[in-house]
Amino acid sequence: MAAQKLDSRRMGEMPEGRLLLSMAVPMILSMLVQALYNVVDSIYVARVSEDCLSALSLAFPAQNIMIGLATGTGVGVSTLVSRALGRKDQQEASRVAGTAIFLSFCCWILVALLGLFFAKPFIHSQTQVASIRSYGDSYLQIVTIASLFVYLEVCVERLLQSTGMTRLSMWTQMIGAVTNIILDPFFIYGWLGLPAMGTAGAAIATVIGQAVGAGVGFLFHHRLNRELPVKPRDIRPHGRIIAAIYRIGFPSILMMGISSVTNYLMNIILGAFTSTAVAVYGVYFKIQSFFFMPVFGINNGLIPIIGYNYGARKKARIYRTIRFGVLYACCFMFLGLALFQLIPQVLLGIFSPSEAMLAIGVPALRRISLSYLFAGFCIVAGSTCQALDRSVNSLLVSILRQIVALIPAAWLLSRTGDVNMVWWAFPIAELMSLAASVFFLRSALKGMEATMAAAPAGEN
C-alpha cells in the first residue's frame, strides 16, 4: 500500500518533464503497438483485394464512434480518479472506478444494438459497389455486436493509468494487440484449416485481441492496483458520478463523433471520384496513427498529471507540464511531416498499391501532412482544457476545424474536378484550429488561476 501511495504522490513531486515521460512512454509504446496492429489488419486485407481495403475505410467512421465512446468515458474516469486521489479521497476514487465498470456494459449494449440494426445501412450509404458493401457489412457488424471487450479494456487501462501504473496499462494494450496481430492471418486467409474469412476474419481477430487485453488488464488491476480497490457494491450507477464523468468526457465523445461525421462525408466526397481515393484516405489514417498515437499517449499521461496538480492547487507544475507536453508532441508531429514529405511511396508501398493508388496517394500524403506543423500544439491544448474542466473548449475547436473548415473546403476543392486538390483542405483547417486553440487555452488557464486564487490548497 505504501508503494502504491508513493506511485500516486509522485505526480505532485517528480520533475515534470521526467514525470510526463515516465507516464507517457509506456502508453506511447502500447499505442504504437495498437497502431501497428491496425496497419497490419489493413496490410493483410489489402492483399485480398483493394475492395476489402476500401470496405475498412467505409467502416472506420462508425468504428471511430465506438472507440470515441470508450475513450471519452475514460477521460472522465481518469480525471475524476486522479482528482480524488489528489484530495486523498480514496472512497470517492473507488466509487468512480465501480461506476466506470458499470458504464462499460451500458456502452456495449448501446453499440451492439446500433450495429445490429444500422451497420448495413451505414455502409450502403457510402458506396454502390456490391463487393465493398459485403466486406464492410460483415466487418462492422462483428466489431460492434462484440464490442463489450473494447469498453472493458479501455476502462481498466484508465484505472491503471489514474494511479500511475502506466506500465501495466501498456502491457494490457500490448498483449491484446499482439494477440490480434498473431491471429489475423489465421482468420483472414484461413490458415491451419480455418475458413478464409477476409474482412470478417480481421474483425474476429480484433475482438479476440480485445477480450484478451481486457482479461489481462483486470487481472493486473485486481492483484496489483491496491490503491484503487473496487468492491462489488461499487459496480452500480452513481448518478452524480456519471454526470461528472460525462461533463468532462462528453465533449471528447462528441469530438470523436464529429470526426466520424467528417470521415463519413470525406468518404462520400472522395467516392464521387473513385473508390481508390477512399482506399487512399483509409490508408492515410492507418499510417498517421504512428505519429498521432504517441501524441495521444503523451496526452493520456498529461491529463492525470494536470488533474492531480489541479486538485492539489500546484499551478507552476501545471504550466511546466503543458510546456513539456507541447515539446514532446511537436517532436512526433515533425517526424511524421518529414517522412510523409520524403518517402510517401515507401509508406504506401506496404499496402500493395496499384499505380492508380500511388498516383492519388503520394500527393495526398504530402499535402495532408503540412497540417502537422500545428497539430501537436493543438492536440495538447485540447487535452489541457479537458484536464482543467474546460472540455467544451476542445469541442468548439473540433467543430471549427472539421465542420466549419475541413468539409466545406474539401467540397469546394472537389468542384475543381481534381481529386488531388481536395487534400489541401487539411492544412487549411488546421490553421483555423491553431487560432482557436491559442484563444481557448489562454481562457482555460486564466480560469484555472482564478479558481486557485479563490481556493488555494498546497503549494503553487
Question: What is the mean pLDDT for each group of 10 consecutive residues in the chain (460 residues)?
Answer: 50 78 79 78 88 90 90 88 81 89 95 94 92 93 95 91 81 89 93 91 94 94 83 86 88 82 93 92 90 87 84 85 93 95 94 92 96 93 86 83 94 95 96 94 90 64
What is the C-alpha R_g of the chain?
Answer: 22
With respect to residue 179, please indicate whether it lies within any of the assigned structural domains: yes
Is 456 within the bounds of a domain? Answer: no
- SS3 labels along 249-295: HHHHHHHHHHHHHHHHHHHHHHHCCCHHHHHHHHHHHHHHHHHHHHH
pLDDT at 243: 92
Q: Domain for residue 362, yes or no? A: yes
In a domain, 93, yes or no: yes
Q: How many domains does the chain have?
A: 1
CA–CA separation, 67 vs 169, rounded Å? Answer: 17
Give the per-residue pLDDT at 148: 95
Distance CA 323, CA 326 (A): 5
Cα angle for residues 380, 384, 388 (degrees, 5° grid):
175
- Report yes or no on 459 lying in a domain: no
Q: State the residue range of the domain holding 112.
A: 2-451
Cα 317 to its chain centre, rounded Å, is: 26
Whether residue 285 lies inside any domain: the answer is yes
Is 41 part of a structural domain of the chain? yes
What pLDDT score was predicted for residue 167?
A: 82
460 part of a folded domain: no
pLDDT, residue 251, reads 75
